[in-house]
Structures are given as structure tokens and as C-alpha cells.
Amino acid sequence: MKVIIAAAGTAGHINPGIAIANKIMKEDKNSKVIFIGTERGLENDLVPRAGYELKTINAYGLSKKISIENLKKMYLTWKGLKEAKKIISEFKPDIVIGTGGYICGATITAAHKLNIPTMIHESNSFPGRAVKMLAKNTDTILVSFKDAIPRIKKAKNVVYTGTPVKIRRREYGNSEKNNILTELKLKGDMPIVLVSGGSQGAQKINEAIIEIIKNKMNKNYQIMWATGPKQYDIIKEELEKNNININNIQDVKIVPYIYNMEEVMNVADVIVGRSGAMTVTEISNIGKPSILVPLPNVSHNHQFYNAKVLENIHAAKIILNEELTGEKLDKNIEEIIKDKTKMYEMGKNARKVATEEAEDKIYEEIKKLLK
């Protein structure tokens, strides 16, 4: 099987694509998978790290406003369509799969024009503009939430699969766990709070953690904090203003990005982060208590409703973005870690909505489409 996967921008688009690629290679080791992305996004780091070839084209998200900047983007995106057609014609894939975002526009359209079977995975409950526009000419659309199905008009075939993720629940022995903690420079006898605002970081969450560190609030827990690559240096400077060395803070480890996220999530005790579809799926698959801060001002407030899935089953606490402070976050962390029974129950509840079979369902849909 020869497959092209279009994935660009944030990890929320790229990692599901990598998960699908990994499933294809696991089931058929003779398969060939390449990715199409842009020169700007995290795909330039994550795709090669996963062992796949990345080819780049011009592609941009377009606004409805008429401006010189938007006209330039329109021209470059039209150019990207021709670039995608060239890559597809040379590679001759059996199927082209998009995992959401503006990169799908050029790639799926090019594949459709070349009569190549197409598939898109939409991870949010409210589908994006690109998916809605491409629905009519895409053979199969896969969704993470059932309530997304009626929102995709004129689609040929919509299938609920859940979100494909690379991260799985692992049971580590004492030796394995100690090795992971040693690598992270964390202790084994103190609760670990994993903080991550996603691949780009989350400024409001980062501000709350800075407040916790400045005031040395984390007396009863350790912090493993991924700031996001673009915010790391800013945070480093902010801490330096308070005579705090980012590489030498007691019970705190700060990095721009966590590449071994599966290991870190499995050894963590509590997870603090946004509530994108992928994050919610990973938390439920791992089975950890969480404190979620939904990203505001997103289409249909979908992150809030993602977070409610876990809050409604007593697996997570929600703090609204505008209400988040270091003091409030610390209080919520303390409430969870002080009661080990509650912490265990929250993690157990999260597992009730796990969708670990998403890759299997997607692979079955790929086989159906190629028959």
C-alpha cells in the first residue's frame, strides 16, 4: 500500500497522521508512507522524528477579508495545489489521507482531480472550514465525535472512529519507572504534575505556572513543564528577572517540548493542559486525573465541550481561561494529590471514555475504500 498523509501546523493535526501511518506500517510492513506539509509547521520536526519522509508545498489558511496579504496567500495556495499534484503524480499513492487543517485543501483537491481515493480525519466536534468545503469531493470522512456527523453536509460517507493517537497506557516496572524519572531528573517519592499547553504552548497556563514557581507554591508536588518552543526563551527571561535559573529550580523541570510524551504521561500523577480533542483522548487512554483549561475564542467553544466529557464523569476539573491564576491552579492540584483514593478514582473514570481502538477502525475504513 502506498499512502500520502497531509498534516501540517500543530501537533493536533500532525500526531493523528503519524498514528495512522504507524498503524499502516504495523499491519503491512511493505507499505510506503510519505507526508505532505509546509515549511512552517511542527511537521518539519515531528514527521522526520517519526521516521517518515516529508515533502512540502505552499498552503495557507485564508480569511474572508479582502487584503493584499490574503491575495498573496491565495496565490501561493493555488501554487501549492500544482505542487501537490506533482508530488502525487510522482509517488502514485493508493490513497491520500488528510488529518485536518489548511494543508488538506490543496492535497485532497489534487488527489480528487487525479482520481486517487481520498480520506479526511476531523478531530473536533465542530468541523473546520476546510473539511466542510472538501466534504463533497472526499470519499470518506472520519470523525472523533459523533455529534460532528450531522454538521458535515453533502458528505459521501462519514464514519465515527475517535481520535487516533500515538500514546498508550503503559504499566512500568520499578526499574523502568526509575530510569524514566532519572532521565527527567524527578523524584519517585513526590507527586508529579505534568503541565503542557500543547505543541505551541499556552500563555495563560504558562503565566499561572510562573506564579507558582515565583511564590514556591509547589511544596507538595513536582512540576514537569513543557512551555512550547516559542515561549521557552520568553519564560526563561521572565524567571531570570526574579533571579531564577530555568535549569535549576527545585522540584521543577522545564523544557520547550516533550518528545517522549507517552513515558511522561504514564509516570505523571496529574495532567494540566488545554482540552483539544487529541489531549482529551490521550488523557482518557492513559487514565489520569486532569485539570483542563479550555482554549477560549475557538469555533463553537469546542474545547470547553471536550473538557466537559471528562468533567461529567468526575475525571477532570475545569478552570476557565479568564479565571486561571497560579493560586487557583495550585489549590486545585493540592485538592487532587492530597487524596490518593480520589486521584485513583479520577484516573479510573477517565478510562471509561478511552478510544484506543481508533487506529483499528481507521485502518478498516482504509481497506474498505481501497477494495
Pairing of strands 32-37, 192-196: unpaired
Contact (Cβ atoms closer than 8 angstroms) between residue 16 and residue 161:
no
247 plus 278 within the same structural domain: yes
Is 41 or 241 the better-scoring residue by pLDDT? 241
Query: What pLDDT does residue 131 have?
Result: 85
248 plus 311 within the same structural domain: yes
153 plus 188 within the same structural domain: no
Dig out the grid coordinates for 145 from the structure: 465525535
Query: What pLDDT does residue 298 have?
Result: 75
Indicate the residue type of 41: G
Tally the domains of the chain.
2
Residues contacting residue 23 through CB under 8 Å, at least 6 positions apart: 164, 359, 360, 362, 363
181 plus 267 within the same structural domain: yes
Query: What pLDDT does residue 166 have?
Result: 74
Using CA atoms, how far apart are residues 211 and 223, in angstroms rounded to an integer? 13
* Tally of CB atoms within 10 A around 47: 25
Average pLDDT, integer, range 309-333: 96
190 plus 280 within the same structural domain: yes
Query: What pLDDT does residue 124 have?
Result: 78
**Closest Cα to residue 272, out of 220, 321, 342?**
321
Indicate the helix (H) or strand (E) that contains 6: strand 2-6
Query: What pLDDT does residue 67 have?
Result: 63
Least confident of 112-126, 141-155, 236-250, 276-290: 141-155
**Dihedrals phi, psi of 300, to nearest 5 degrees:** 60, 20
How long a stretch of residues is the chain? 371
Dig out the grid coordinates for 338 from the structure: 492530597
| Mean confidence (pLDDT) of the chain | 90
160 plus 182 within the same structural domain: no
364 plus 345 within the same structural domain: no
Using CA atoms, how far apart are residues 367 and 141, in angstroms rounded to an integer? 14
The SS3 assignment for 260 reads: coil
Average pLDDT, integer, range 270-297: 93
Residues 138-179 have pLDDT tens digits of 999 999 877 788 889 889 999 999 888 878 899 999 999 999
14 plus 137 within the same structural domain: yes
What angle, 0 to 180 degrees and rounded to 10, lies between the N-to-C axes of helices 11-27 and 277-286? Answer: 50
Q: Which residues pair with 6 in a beta bridge?
A: 36, 98
Residues 344-371 have pLDDT tens digits of 999 999 999 887 789 999 999 999 999 8
Query: What does the DSSP 8-state code read for residue 249?
Result: B
* Tally of CB atoms within 10 A around 313: 16
213 plus 192 within the same structural domain: yes
255 plus 307 within the same structural domain: yes
Q: Is the dihedral of CA 47, 48, 51, 55 positive or negative?
A: positive
Contact (Cβ atoms closer than 8 angstroms) between residue 42 and residue 14:
yes
- pLDDT bin (cut points 50, 70, 90) of residue 71 is low
Average pLDDT, integer, range 102-117: 93
Query: What pLDDT does residue 233 have?
Result: 94
Q: What is the CATH number of the domain that holds 298?
A: 3.40.50.2000
94 plus 213 within the same structural domain: no
* Tally of CB atoms within 10 A around 321: 17
- pLDDT bin (cut points 50, 70, 90) of residue 60 is low
- pLDDT bin (cut points 50, 70, 90) of residue 201 is low
Average pLDDT, integer, range 104-115: 94
Task: Give yes or no for residue 62 having a pLDDT over 60.
Answer: no
Using CA atoms, how far apart are residues 58 and 182, in angstroms rounded to an integer? 42
Dig out the grid coordinates for 69 from the structure: 496579504
Residues 298-314 have pLDDT tens digits of 766 888 988 998 999 99
**Closest Cα to residue 145, out of 165, 129, 125?**
125
348: left (phi over 0), alpha (psi -120 to 50) or beta: alpha
Which domain range does residue 288 map to?
Answer: 174-353
Using CA atoms, how far apart are residues 235 and 246, in angstroms rounded to an integer? 8
Query: What pLDDT does residue 90 have?
Result: 97
- Percentage of the chain with pLDDT > 90? 71
Contact (Cβ atoms closer than 8 angstroms) between residue 293 and residue 196:
no
- pLDDT bin (cut points 50, 70, 90) of residue 270 is very high
Helix and strand element counts for the chain (H, E): 14, 13
Query: What pLDDT does residue 125 have?
Result: 75
278 plus 349 within the same structural domain: yes
Query: What pLDDT does residue 359 have?
Result: 93
